[in-house]
Amino acid sequence: MQNYLDRIARVLQQQWQPFEPDQLADYRFPARRERMIDIPPLRISLLDLIVDTNDCRLLQQRISERNSVLGKVMPWSHRLAYDGELLRALEHCTTLLNQQDDQPALGEQLTALAASKRATLSATYWNALNASEEFEDYLRFANQPLPISSSQITDQDAVAALRKLTEIGAALPQQLPPDRAHIDALLQALQQNQRSSQLITSLAQTTHGLHQATHMLTATNPRLLCPMQAPTARSKILLNVFVLFYAGEIQPYLAQLQRLGQPWAEAVIALRAVPDIPDATAHALARLAGEKNSLWEEYQAALTKHTQAWQDLLGACESQPGQSGWQTPTEG
């Protein structure tokens, strides 16, 4: 990009501003504490359950697990899975008590407890994501952009994992969350692929570069570049830049960004639509994709404007493909 901008600047006698790393701060996630939801603890007497629900061994096990030393410090992703297991145990126990019909008060207590727990599932889900380093790292900009490479670069597994996590959240509370092994596997898929972080950096840097190039192209008076609306020596050099460096070097990279960015942006937009998202998380995701001033939409707009700027300037010099001034450039 720097080489491309330098060549345009020399031909058009313009200047451009380099990308400043501080610009990436616009896409930094807010502090974790701003994205967490306060969920009041829901307590039930373990002793009462042991005495009164001898047939509900599974529920007793779940309560014991939560009250253990490890249970009290389990990560939020495991708490999400645990809440699903607890609700299944509560519903199973309630069914047993209803069949016995000799402990209606306890059955009503368990039913109310299950309803309260279901009501907090969405909050637990968002805490599971927002407290996850894997989730944060996946949507955090990287120090380096995507490498210039072939089509072998992919983010399919991580995007698929993000979509599955989105499906879990969207299905709550009617559909209970899966077990912790399933959730852990999805979070690990995010962690194992850093392409998203590199993509964020690439989109920011490339958008800036396209804006700089477009500014130089649109700031050039076509009448001075091609006084007779016909190719000149300077416009032929500019055409060389277009074919050899924009079409030859920049466009393949843009195609790579589009191939990786489109499914990534769609996954981010879908995640933001999951109910009960904290405001800070929603704002952070909106800065990445889905809103007019988001990273993905700004990149698309910059690309459209840049394409139009080339068409306008080359067209004014009769140098677009099919026009009289079009020729196969030679590198120089």
Is residue 289 in a domain?
yes
pLDDT more than 90, % of the chain:
69
**Cis peptide leading into residue 173 (ω within 30°):** yes
User: Is residue 258's pLDDT more than 80?
Assistant: yes
The 10 Å Cβ neighbour count of residue 27 is: 18
The 10 Å Cβ neighbour count of residue 115 is: 12
Is residue 129 in a domain?
no
| 21/54: higher pLDDT | 21
Angle, in degrees to the nearest 10, between helices 279-288 and 121-130: 50
Which pair of structure tokens corresponds to residue 148?
Answer: 């210039």
- Decide: 317 and 325 in contact? Cβ < 8 Å: yes
pTM: 0.90
Digit-coded pLDDT (tens) for 181-226: 999 999 999 998 889 999 999 999 999 999 999 999 999 999 899 9
Is residue 59 in a domain?
yes
Digit-coded pLDDT (tens) for 119-141: 999 999 999 999 999 999 999 99
- Decide: 241 and 4 in contact? Cβ < 8 Å: yes
Its domain, for residue 103, covers: 40-119
Distance from C-alpha of 229 to C-alpha of 318, rounded to nearest angstrom: 7
pLDDT at 148: 84
Residue 304 sits in the same domain as residue 219: yes
Is residue 82 in a domain?
yes
Distance from C-alpha of 68 to C-alpha of 110, rounded to nearest angstrom: 21
Is residue 130 in a domain?
no
Total domain count, the chain: 2
Is residue 131 in a domain?
no
Is residue 76 in a domain?
yes
Is residue 330 in a domain?
no
Residue 72 sits in the same domain as residue 114: yes
Residue 107 sits in the same domain as residue 184: no
Residue 178 sits in the same domain as residue 101: no
Distance from C-alpha of 242 to C-alpha of 248, rounded to nearest angstrom: 8
Residue 46 sits in the same domain as residue 20: no
Residue 159 sits in the same domain as residue 197: yes
